[in-house]
Amino acid sequence: MVMIKLLDILKEILEGTNQAPYGLMFFGNDKVLVGDDHENPITLSKDLQDKIVNIGKKHGYYGEGSGIANNPAVTNSEIYKALVDAGAQDKKSWDDLIKPPNKSDFLYALFANVKENRRLEKLLKAKQKEDTIYSLLKRTRNDWAATKGTSDSDLDKFLKDASGNYDFVQMSKSEATSANLKHFLKLGEKDMWPSNWKEYPNPSGKVARNATKFRDEWIIKSGPGVYFIGNGHLKDIAEMEGGGEIIGGKKT
């Protein structure tokens, strides 16, 4: 009997419980933030997955940004399949619910996760023959902005506010060739997210911080449900008033 008991304990250890490499954050029994890296499928131990599915069945689940359909880290995961199989309601993107006071800051998404969001590919697909980078961004801004209903003046303000080390206003006047767009996006992402990005040393980073701080504060106060969120936000949220404790998160 003792040997069987020891084997059961060993099996439990090997299978793992309370495992969430990309991080989780529970708020009571009816709300959870599920971290992902926008690329690799979310993995969870069964105990946590079951708990999340129970929340999802009652309160639904939300994607981030342009939605779950564009996030392979979610769509290729077992937790997503379990939520769908359980009949949980897809409540679309939680970003669509945010009403920011300054929409220009939310255009920071242009330079965020450029590769993962296939930003270059999507812009080239939308490009028209005579486009400059600016005219292309102007026409597509509401496809990639982290909020809905941005205006031309919001785009102008974003490019101006983000400029410092680089003049994004001037650069946007260039022809929207593949090479020019690739260079523009590469410099923007490098400037906004340098190795010391948490210090937000550059103007573009400060714009991003204004938006992400507002988003993080909003999601802390949001209602019940399962919220998929970029795992990098969990650390910030954990340190904010009202934030919770991160479970797992070794890949955060």
| pLDDT tens digits, one per residue of 92-135 | 999 989 999 899 999 999 999 899 888 999 999 999 999 999 99
Question: Residue 166: what pLDDT?
Answer: 97
Question: Residue 237: what pLDDT?
Answer: 95
Question: Residue 249: what pLDDT?
Answer: 81
Burial status of residue 32 (CB atoms within 10 A of its CB: 0-12, 13-18, 19 or more): buried
Q: How many alpha carbons lie under 13 Å from residue 167 in its C-beta half-sphere?
A: 5
**Does residue 33 register a pLDDT over 60?**
yes
CA distances from 97 to 11, 22, 133 (A): 43, 24, 29
Percent of the chain with pLDDT over 90: 76
3-state secondary structure of 34: strand
pLDDT bracket for residue 13 (50, 70, 90) = very low
Return the higher-pLDDT residue of 124 and 15. Answer: 124
Our measurement of the distance from residue 249's CA atom to the centroid of its chain's CA atoms, rounded to an integer in Å, reads 15
- 69-99 residue pLDDT tens: 888 999 999 999 999 999 999 999 999 899 9
Report how far residue 172's alpha carbon sits from residue 116's, in angstroms, rounded to the nearest whole number: 22
Report how far residue 29's alpha carbon sits from residue 19's, in angstroms, rounded to the nearest whole number: 18
**Does residue 14 register a pLDDT over 90?**
no
Q: Read off the pLDDT of each residue in 131-149 and give the average, rounded to a whole number.
A: 94
Return the higher-pLDDT residue of 65 and 206. Answer: 206
CA distances from 201 to 163, 196, 205, 209, 214 (A): 12, 8, 7, 11, 19
pLDDT bracket for residue 187 (50, 70, 90) = very high
**Does residue 3 register a pLDDT over 60?**
no
Sheet holding 61-63, edge to edge: 24-26, 31-36, 225-230, 61-63, 90-93
Report how far residue 57's alpha carbon sits from residue 160's, in angstroms, rounded to the nearest whole number: 45
- In DSSP terms, which residues pair with 62 in a beta bridge? 227
| E-state strands within the chain | 24-26, 31-36, 61-63, 90-93, 225-230
**Does residue 147 register a pLDDT over 90?**
no
DSSP state of 60: -
- 190-213 residue pLDDT tens: 999 999 998 999 999 999 999 999
- The answer to whether 244 and 27 have CB atoms below 8 angstroms apart is yes
Q: Which two tokens stand for residue 162?
A: 């983000």
DSSP 208-242: HHHHHHHHHHHHHH--SEEEEEETHHHHHHHHSTT
**Does residue 32 register a pLDDT over 50?**
yes
The ranges assigned to domains in the chain are 2-98+225-239, 103-209
**Does residue 47 register a pLDDT over 60?**
yes
- 229-245 residue pLDDT tens: 999 899 999 999 999 99
**Average pLDDT of the chain to the nearest whole number:** 91
- The answer to whether 66 and 60 have CB atoms below 8 angstroms apart is no
Q: Which residues contact 208 (CB under 8 A, 6 or more apart)?
A: 105, 108, 111, 112, 192, 193, 200
